[in-house]
A = this chain, B = another copy of it.
Amino acid sequence: MSAVLSLGEVSGRPESRNWLNTIIKGDCVAALEALPDKSVDVIFADPPYNLQLGGELTRPDQSKVDACDDHWDQFASFEVYDAFTRAWLLACRRVLKPNGTIWVIGSYHNIFRVGAIMQDLNFWILNDIVWRKTNPMPNFKGRRFQNAHETMIWASRDANAKAYTFNYEAMKAANEDVQMRSDWLFPICNGGERLKNDDGDKVHPTQKPEALLARVLMSSTRPGDIVLDPFFGTGTTGAVAKRLGRNFVGIEREQDYIDAASARIDAVEPLGATELTVMTGKKAEPRVAFVSLIESGLMKPGTILSDARRRVSAIVRADGTLVSGVEAGSIHKVGARVQGLDACNGWTYWHFDDGQSLKPIDVLRSLIREDMAKAG
């Protein structure tokens, strides 16, 4: 079974990390306070939604809807819920690395309060993501629109944390080569994935689908990252993290949920390194200085470069700068000046003649990068 730690067993010493890939049993805020500062890369939080349900709800066939009326979802007032929310978000903030990000999922019952508090605590919202359900529960009384989605807030630690992980190219490739949008379509957690106890009842009333977590982790973490889930429940976050080669830490109060999560995670087979290689765009690739083309002999000083239509030309100087008429400077700056623009990507703007046709100098950069990759 996956290790389960009681609160007293958690080592707060940064070098220990005995809490890695374990479930910490205890209150969310107390457990968070046992973890060291700036120790996790990403947090996924699925807090109580504070549904304020009235009486019972029946379907048109008079069957009863099995509502989420668990004690842990009950709060006396908005004030109490807000205080709870502020406490766990603040504790999360301390544990999060400076360039880490946090995801919080909710519905209209709670997500507005959560989002406002996140902003108040200086988290910087990067996106709100809509999980569109393919198969939501209908509105049985015909008094509202069918509540067919939930909302996730994705935020960095603060507005200045620019170096958070976002696997833009991988998301784009996974989405027919267009940018991944802020609305995602997934079925609710059903069928074989849904954990049931011996009586055939669901173990947890609000188990999230693994596909949702997989997209969250694939987009905002790298293999080996540490993912914290302060409301672990039956461990969807842990199961997906393990499968995707990420480390997890879960916090959970209820022993039933811990037992189910632990067994579930044990059964997960991690994917191999090849499957996990994240598609990266140019951003993640090493920077190449234009001068290194000259240094490596791929480009000779004095070479004449031009734009794709040979309307503008420039001469390569030995120091890696370019001259075009009166303009001199980097490939980017000169490219911008000759076009009268503020900026320009010189790698794609400037071309060289290889004897047959004009090719962008970017192809030479690719050769350099291949060499860099071989060198490890």
- Residues of A with Cβ closer than 8 Å to B? 58, 60, 62, 78, 107-109, 111-116, 118-120, 125-130, 132, 136, 138-139, 142-149, 151, 153-154, 162, 166, 168-169, 171, 179-183, 219, 281, 283, 336, 339, 341-345
Contact = CB atoms under 8 A, between A and B. Distances in A.
B116 A149 contact: no
A149 B180 CA distance: 12
Contacts of A138: 179
A164 to B, nearest CB: 8
A108 B181 contact: no
B145 A182 contact: yes
Contacts of A114: 112
B58 A343 contact: yes
A142 B127 contact: no
B112 A146 contact: no
A219 B108 CA distance: 19
A147 B111 contact: no
- Number of this chain's copies in the assembly equals 2
A143 B156 CA distance: 12
A130 B129 contact: no
28 contacts: A58-B342, A60-B345, A62-B341, A62-B343, A78-B119, A107-B128, A108-B115, A109-B125, A112-B113, A112-B118, A112-B119, A113-B115, A116-B116, A126-B143, A126-B144, A130-B132, A130-B183, A132-B183, A142-B166, A142-B168, A142-B283, A143-B166, A144-B166, A145-B154, A145-B181, A146-B179, A148-B182, A149-B181
B147 A168 contact: no
Nearest to A79: B120
A162 B336 CA distance: 62
A169 to B, nearest CB: 8
A331 B5 CA distance: 59
B146 A180 contact: yes
A300 to B, nearest CB: 29
Nearest to A136: B181
B145 A180 contact: yes
Given A108-B153, A127-B108, A181 B62 contact: no
Given A108-B128, A146-B179, 14 more contacts: A58-B342, A62-B344, A107-B128, A108-B115, A108-B127, A108-B153, A111-B115, A112-B113, A112-B119, A113-B116, A128-B149, A130-B183, A143-B162, A145-B179
Given A62-B344, A136-B181, A344-B62, A129 B112 contact: no
Contacts of A151: 128, 151
Given A119-B78, A128-B151, A151-B128, A146 B62 contact: no
Contacts of A78: 119-120
Contact of A149 (B62, B119, B182, B342): B182
A62 B139 CA distance: 48
Nearest to A180: B145
A55 to B, nearest CB: 11
Contact of A127 (B129, B147, B162): B147
A184 to B, nearest CB: 9
A343 B341 CA distance: 72
Contacts of A183: 130, 132, 148-149, 183
A340 to B, nearest CB: 10
A114 B146 CA distance: 22
